């Protein structure tokens, strides 16, 4: 009797809790739990190909899944290499196109001597020179995201008037004289801060630099950060870090004065060749209201469109691709890369999530000093921008990184302009190969790491 009652109670309980409607819910819960357990188990084995590249990593990163097996020396070799590397090619094709053409011509006997004279800087055998002139390889790299286009042709850089790379001793001596003459408080206004205007909230002073209000403004908030040293080529890592730190203080002070102005822009030209109004190093700081200056504003807008279209950060992809191509190095949390589609010769990018991270100022210094010391660049232009300021007067970190773009403006002694109709209305011809500076950047990072390690042990 007891057994019968127990069986009856068990049967009642079973059908109460495992009747068809309730059984269905039990199955759903069990299936969901099983799927979740499976995903947790296998996720540890899936490589993170799209991990953010602005995480804290070592100075020279190897965190990309695929890269060139051995370095290449020229952008002219890139099309053939991409054809052999489908993974890199798929990332490249989302952002760029690259095309190679053979431009042929015929050198008549009457013109041969003149052609050899025109390209005398070539330096190779006469037969090789004539063959190179008659069969020119032109490479076009087009940025699908920004619309920028760069044109490369090795033979063109040997044409008359292409200028010096600034590496010979005679030019270095002449440039040093050019950049130091006229210095001193009696001759240079910027060497005497009392002969400069100041902002309505006063002057911000750093260890190596100070601010002055611009007397011919481009915006409501437009000032200068000026180094104490006159010579623009005397910059070192400490001076550059101080300039960056003073700019942060000025932007935040101006924003506190006028919270509607939130977009930080810095532009700088070094040398009269680059259109600098004064030899003494100075950078122009402009805090704008509705948008960045046009060049950075374009980058911000296309980066947002790229994120919407591809579901991944344009900035992360840009760094990752240049790492894959062997064109990037890392300094702490910042990336430095030689642009595969440069705006002008020897363009370097520096990107960092946080402009106040010390590695950003170090990376900026690394880029500028490598151009000066290793490549002989004595005249250059750069733009710096930081993320917009928020209501709490801090940088709004996230979608917009801190950016440096710096370009070589050619020989400081060349009286001609380095821009013309091609640069203003067409595509840009690039005489310097993006890969040429990479060994110098790598060596600079190695020296930086060695000095950092030495300072830690002292």
Give the model's pLDDT for residue 14: 39
Residue 58 has pLDDT above 70, yes or no: no
Residue 405 has pLDDT above 60, yes or no: yes
Fold that domain 169-457 belongs to in CATH = HIT family, subunit A (3.30.428)
Give the model's pLDDT for residue 276: 85
Give the model's pLDDT for residue 30: 54
Of the two residues 195 and 169, the one the predictor is more confident about is 195
Q: How far apart are CA 252 and CA 393, in angstroms?
A: 6
* Residue ranges covered by each domain of the chain: 75-158, 169-457
Give the model's pLDDT for residue 16: 46
Q: What integer is the mean pLDDT of 258-283? A: 93
Residue 54 has pLDDT above 60, yes or no: no
Query: What digits encode the pLDDT tens for the residues 228-246?
Result: 999 999 999 999 999 999 9
Among the listed residues 323, 303, 299, the one whose alpha carbon sits nearest the alpha carbon of residue 384: 299
Q: How far apart are CA 319 and CA 316, in angstroms?
A: 5
Q: What integer is the mean pLDDT of 55-70? A: 47
Phi-psi region of 275 (alpha: psi -120 to 50; beta: other; left: phi over 0): left
Residue 38 has pLDDT above 50, yes or no: no
By the 8 A CB rule, do 390 and 455 touch? no
Give the model's pLDDT for residue 69: 64
Where residue 165 falls among pLDDT bands split at 50, 70, 90? low
Residue 60 has pLDDT above 60, yes or no: no
Which helix (H) or strand (E) segment holds residue 102: the answer is strand 96-104
Q: What integer is the mean pLDDT of 61-68? A: 51
Q: What integer is the mean pLDDT of 270-278? A: 85
By the 8 A CB rule, do 309 and 322 touch? no
Dihedral pair phi/psi, residue 313, rounded to 5° = -70, 130
Find the range with the poorest average confidence among 17-21, 72-76, 127-131, 386-390.
17-21
Average model confidence (pLDDT) for the chain?
86
By the 8 A CB rule, do 165 and 410 touch? no
Residues ≥6 apart with Cβ < 8 Å to 1: none
By the 8 A CB rule, do 364 and 240 touch? yes
Of the two residues 404 and 24, the one the predictor is more confident about is 404
Q: Percentage of the chain surpassing pLDDT 90? A: 67
Among the listed residues 185, 199, 196, the one whose alpha carbon sits nearest the alpha carbon of residue 285: 199
Look up residue 396 and give its DSSP letter: -
Residue 29 has pLDDT above 60, yes or no: no
Strands 348-352 vs 402-408: parallel, antiparallel or unpaired: antiparallel
Give the model's pLDDT for residue 42: 34
Where residue 138 falls among pLDDT bands split at 50, 70, 90? very high
CA 69 to chain centre: 24
Q: How far apart are CA 410 and CA 379, in angstroms?
A: 6
Dihedral pair phi/psi, residue 393, rounded to 5° = 65, 35
Give the model's pLDDT for residue 50: 36
Which helix (H) or strand (E) segment holds residue 101: the answer is strand 96-104
How many residues are given for the chain? 458
By the 8 A CB rule, do 238 and 206 touch? no
Where residue 34 falls among pLDDT bands split at 50, 70, 90? low
* Helix-strand-coil split of the chain, %, nearest 5: 45, 20, 35
DSSP secondary structure, 184-245, as one string: STTT-GGGSGGGSB-BTTB--B-SSEEEEE-SS-SSSEEEEEEESSS-GGG--HHHHHHHHH
Of the two residues 194 and 70, the one the predictor is more confident about is 194
Find the range with the poorest average confidence among 100-109, 257-266, 420-429.
420-429
DSSP secondary structure, 274-287, as one string: GT-S-SS-EEEEEE
Q: How far apart are CA 199 and CA 213, in angstroms?
A: 5
Q: How far apart are CA 418 and CA 162, in angstroms?
A: 10
Query: What digits encode the pLDDT tens for the residues 115-131?
Result: 999 998 888 899 999 99
Among the listed residues 185, 230, 186, the one whose alpha carbon sits nearest the alpha carbon of residue 208: 230
Give the model's pLDDT for residue 27: 58
Give the model's pLDDT for residue 64: 52
Q: What is the side-by-side strand order in the sheet with 380-385?
A: 209-213, 221-227, 282-288, 263-270, 380-385, 402-408, 348-352, 334-338, 328-331
Bridge partners of residue 389, in order along the sequence: 395
Of the two residues 33 and 406, the one the predictor is more confident about is 406
Residue 308 has pLDDT above 60, yes or no: yes
C-alpha distances out from residue 124 to 116, 121, 139, 158, 291, Å: 11, 9, 22, 11, 51
Residue 425 has pLDDT above 50, yes or no: yes
pTM here is: 0.83
Q: How far apart are CA 118 and CA 111, in angstroms?
A: 11
Q: What integer is the mean pLDDT of 445-451? A: 85
Give the model's pLDDT for residue 56: 34
Residue 337 has pLDDT above 90, yes or no: yes
Where residue 110 falls among pLDDT bands split at 50, 70, 90? very high
Q: What integer is the mean pLDDT of 25-47? A: 46
Residue 61 has pLDDT above 50, yes or no: no
């Amino acid at each position: 009797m007891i057994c019968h009652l127990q069986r009856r109670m068990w049967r009642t309980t079973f059908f109460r809790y495992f009747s068809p409607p309730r059984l269905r819910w039990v199955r759903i819960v069990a299936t969901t739990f099983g799927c979740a357990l499976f995903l947790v188990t296998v996720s540890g084995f899936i490589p993170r190909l799209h991990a953010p590249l602005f995480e804290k990593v070592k100075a020279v990163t190897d965190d990309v899944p695929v890269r060139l097996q051995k370095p290449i020396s020229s952008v002219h070799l890139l099309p053939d290499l991409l054809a052999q590397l489908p993974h890199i090619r798929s990332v490249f094709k989302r952002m760029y196109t690259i095309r190679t053409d053979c431009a042929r011509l015929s050198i008549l006997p009457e013109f041969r001597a003149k052609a050899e004279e025109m390209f005398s800087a070539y330096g190779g055998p006469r037969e090789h020179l004539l063959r190179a002139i008659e069969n020119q390889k032109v490479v076009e790299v087009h940025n699908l995201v920004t619309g920028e286009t760069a044109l490369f042709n090795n033979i063109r850089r040997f044409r008359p008037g292409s200028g010096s790379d600034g590496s010979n001793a005679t030019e270095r001596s002449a440039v040093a004289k050019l950049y130091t003459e006229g210095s001193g408080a009696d001759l240079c206004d910027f060497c005497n801060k009392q002969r400069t205007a100041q902002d309505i909230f006063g002057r911000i002073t750093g260890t190596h630099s100070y601010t002055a209000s611009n007397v011919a403004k481009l915006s409501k908030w437009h000032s200068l950060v000026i180094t104490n040293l006159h010579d623009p080529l005397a910059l070192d890592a400490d001076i550059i870090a101080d300039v960056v730190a003073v700019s942060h203080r000025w932007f935040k002070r101006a924003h506190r004065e006028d919270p509607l102005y939130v977009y930080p822009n810095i532009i700088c030209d070094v040398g009269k060749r680059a259109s600098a109004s004064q030899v003494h190093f100075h950078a122009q700081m402009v805090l704008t209201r509705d948008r960045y200056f046009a060049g950075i504003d374009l980058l911000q807008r296309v980066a947002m469109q790229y994120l919407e279209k591809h579901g991944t950060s344009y900035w992360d992809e840009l760094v990752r691709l240049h790492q894959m191509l062997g064109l990037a190095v890392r300094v702490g949390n910042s990336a430095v890369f030689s642009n595969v589609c440069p705006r002008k010769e020897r363009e370097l990018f520096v990107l960092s999530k946080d402009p106040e991270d010390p590695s950003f100022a170090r990376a900026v210094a690394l880029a500028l000093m490598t151009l000066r010391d290793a490549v002989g660049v004595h005249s250059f232009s750069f733009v710096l921008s930081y993320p917009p300021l928020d209501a709490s007067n801090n940088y709004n970190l996230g979608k917009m990184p801190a950016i440096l773009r710096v370009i070589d403006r050619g020989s400081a002694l060349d009286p001609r302009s380095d821009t013309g109709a091609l640069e203003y209305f067409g595509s840009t011809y690039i005489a310097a190969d993006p890969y040429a500076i990479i060994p110098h950047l790598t060596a600079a990072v190695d020296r930086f790491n060695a000095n950092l390690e030495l300072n830690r042990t002292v």
